[in-house]
Each structure stands twice: as C-alpha cells, then as structure tokens.
Chain A
Amino acid sequence: MIYFDNAATTAAKPPAVAETVARAINGFGGVGRGVHEASLDAGLAVFHARQQLARLLGAGDPARVAFASNATEALNTAVNGLVRPGDALVTTAASHNSVLRPLYRAVDERGCSLTVVPHDARGALDYDAFDAALEPSVRLAVVTHASNLTGDVYDIARIARICRERGALLLVDAAQTAGVVPIDMGRDGLDLVAFTGHKSLYGPQGTGGLVVAEGVDVEPLKVGGSGTHSYNRRHPARMPERLEAGTLNAHGIAGLGAGLAYIEERGVEEIGARVRALAERFERGVRGIEGVRVLGGGGDVGRCGIVALNVGELDSAAVGDALNAEFGICTRAGAHCAPLMHEALGTQNQGAVRFSFSSFNTADEVDAGIAAVAAIAQEA
C-alpha cells in the first residue's frame, strides 16, 4: 500500500506516538482529577503538550491552548463562543464545511450576515474582495490557512493585517498547515487558531484544539466537570479550563505530544520542505501526462503538500477507486467537504482526486503514483 491521503489523516506516525499512547492507556488516571501518581502523570502529559503547541504556534502562554476532540470541535467552539446575534461575518470560498456550517448556522439561527470572499479558477484568493468585505461592522473573519482541496497556502499575515485594521477578530483554520507550515500567532497577529492533532502533527485521531490569543474571550461550547471549584454553579472562566469541560483525551494528547516532539526535533521548516519537495515532484510528473488537469496553484505561499487533479472527464471517484484497487494507492476522491472551492474550480460535478504527502512518504512512492496516474490516463 502507498498512502497518499495524509490530508485526511497521517497513517504513518513516529513510532513513539503509538508507544506513548500504549503507556498512557495502561497507566494514566484522570487528568486534573486527582493528585495521585497516575493522575499527575496524565496532567503532566497534557501540560507538556500544551507547552509544545504554544511553542509551535507562537502562542506565548501555554494556558491559551485548549484541547478539543478535533479541529471541527475547535472551530465550532470559536464560532459559537464569539458570535453574537446580528453579527457580520466573513469567510472565503476555500473554507471547509467545518468552517462553513457553523457560520451558516449563525446566519440561520442568530440572524448574522455572512460574506464569502471568492477564489478564482486557479484557487487564488481575491484579496481586494477580502479587503472590501472587511467593513468596520465585521466582528469575525474565519479563514483557512491552506485549502484542504488544492493545498494552496494563503498569506495569513496579510489577512491578519486587514482584519486588525478593521477591528475584526481573525480565526484561522490551520488543520492542513500546523506542523508543516510555520505559524506564529504573536508575530502575525492571529486571534484564534484551530488545529487538529492527527494530520501533520502526527498525533492520534480525537485530538485537536483551539489556541486563543490573550485578551480574546470565547464563551464555552460545553460546561460541566472541571476538577476544580465544584460548588460553583458556573464553569471556571480561566483558560484553558474555560473551554475544556469534561475529562480530556489524555491518552491521545500524550500521543500528540510524541508527534510534536518529532516535529520539534526535525523542525517545521525541514519537514515542510521535505513534504513540499515530494508534492512538487509529483506535480511535475503528472503535469506532463496528457489529459491530466492539476487543480489550484493560486496560493500566495506555495502548497502545503497536497496536489489535486482530474484525469480527462473521468469521474474522480472512478480514478480514486482505480488507484486503490489496481495500484494499491490510497487517495481521496470526491468533494473533500469543500463545496465552494469546487465551485470556484469548476469541479463540482467531477470532484477531484487528492494526493497528499507526509514526511514519511518517499520519492519512489511518488514516482509510483505518477506512473499509476499515467496508466489510468492512457486508458481514459
């Protein structure tokens, strides 16, 4: 099997991730729920992962990192916890449904307005339109750092400057970039960053979180057990407990910590360069195949390790199935929960076949992927 579906989840992890989860699940007590050794071990694992994430994302204080079960939960927490009835909201057509659906719900249920800034047929964001959409009345802009369909990375510092000038909060969906593209919340002025643990951070599924800049208050999506202040009717207001009601997935977070240690050891720059080199090798190879259309390429700062394509007029599902059944290559075909980006690219009927690479892929695997696409295109 050759695994090129790393934008969905990384299948190959550093060995320490599974080893750490196994140790954790056989020994951890409740995190923040006691002072015996088993509970403190869990608490320390979570604390160290917070520190790692604060360093990775330039968040400053680790207490600003709140864990969630995935990026979707983090995005829902942020949108629901920031938006007030009647607020003006902005996003872009590159957004995943994990951004779009919470925003649509705010429109439908809270009387908010929503402007969706367009991307062109190459996937490029229209910055003039974004600038125009950021009227002073806008409270929140939710922008993806990179398209989960094309892999195009957008200039998040430029977007943050526009938001800051207009007094809007900026929530960044970093599901595809955390761990493979440098992010510095402090330097770039990002108010909130949602991340997932199981993609380029090499952690287990069921991990993710929301990083909230100092001075930004998010109303919690959930309230309940906090391990402290049990006789208080209200949930603790301080971060991170504010956004972490209930027992955390300490087993998974410990594994995420091992994934983060791998990233810290090698560096985001080095990992990003390796993944981009694999993606560029693949893109060069498939661009030379007659009938293949590579999607996107309109990012301001390159791609994050994703290359999406179509073969002639073939249904993307058929291409994805042939790659799997005939060549043992795992990709993701279809709509990728990115309906507006498919509309921008004109692929809403055909879908696309997404190849996404990780630092554990090799050049030989990439070449096998190119050969498989060539074989399918030849028969198309």
Chain B
Amino acid sequence: MRRKTLKAVVTFASASDAMAVEAAAREAGFPGRMIPIPSEISAGCGLAWCVPAEERDALLGALASGGLAYEEVHEAELY
C-alpha cells in the first residue's frame, strides 16, 4: 500500500525558473525531482520540485549556491 511521507516542495513563479532548476539538477545532481504541483499547495497546473523533508536544507543550499530562483517552500504529506 502506498504511504504518504513528509516532503518539502519548492514552487516556481514560472516554468522557465523550473527548467533552470531541472537543468542544474541534471548537471549537479540535486536531491529530489520535478513533480506536478500538488493541489493542496496550488490549484491548477504547474511544476514543483519535491524532496524528502529531511533533504530540504540540502536542496535550499543547492538552489542558493546555484543562484536559482524559486517562489515558496512548502511542507506536505505526499505519496
């Protein structure tokens, strides 16, 4: 049975910002992966970057060191 776990979810102001993170992640090996933005965070479609909650700080550090823009960081129980 699939179980929810606590995740950190980074949202973006634009798909272009999201692609910048995807590109940097493929080069530098960031933790996490791109997901469709969960409806409990934002109604509508869009992209978000998701990591296990315990990897939140590592992700934010990588985003900061890469000069990568993001909108907000959320925590949510997700599959």
With A and B bound together, what is the CA distance between A239 and B35 in angstroms? 22
Check: A234 CB closer than 8 A to any chain B CB. Answer: no
**A228 B46 Cβ-Cβ under 8 A:** yes
**A241 B23 Cβ-Cβ under 8 A:** no
Which B residues lie within 8 Å of A63 (CB)? 14, 16-17
**B19 A35 Cβ-Cβ under 8 A:** no
**A228 B45 Cβ-Cβ under 8 A:** yes
Expressed in whole angstroms, the minimum distance between the Cβ of A39 and any Cβ of chain B is: 9
**A238 B23 Cβ-Cβ under 8 A:** no
Partner of B14, one of A34, A35, A46, A241: A241
Check: A227 CB closer than 8 A to any chain B CB. Answer: yes
Within 8 A of A (CB), among B8-59: 13-20, 22-23, 26, 34-36, 43-47
Number of interface residues of B (CB under 8 A): 19
Expressed in whole angstroms, the minimum distance between the Cβ of A320 and any Cβ of chain B is: 43
Which A residues lie within 8 Å of B23 (CB)? 44, 47-48
Partner of B44, one of A40, A44, A229, A239: A229
**A229 B46 Cβ-Cβ under 8 A:** yes
Residue among A33, A34, A43, A230 with the highest chain B CB neighbour number at 10 A: A43
Check: A302 CB closer than 8 A to any chain B CB. Answer: no
Check: A203 CB closer than 8 A to any chain B CB. Answer: no
Check: A26 CB closer than 8 A to any chain B CB. Answer: no
Task: Rank and list the top 7 A-B pairs by shortest CB-CB distance, nearest first.
Answer: A230-B44, A47-B19, A32-B15, A228-B46, A35-B34, A43-B19, A231-B44
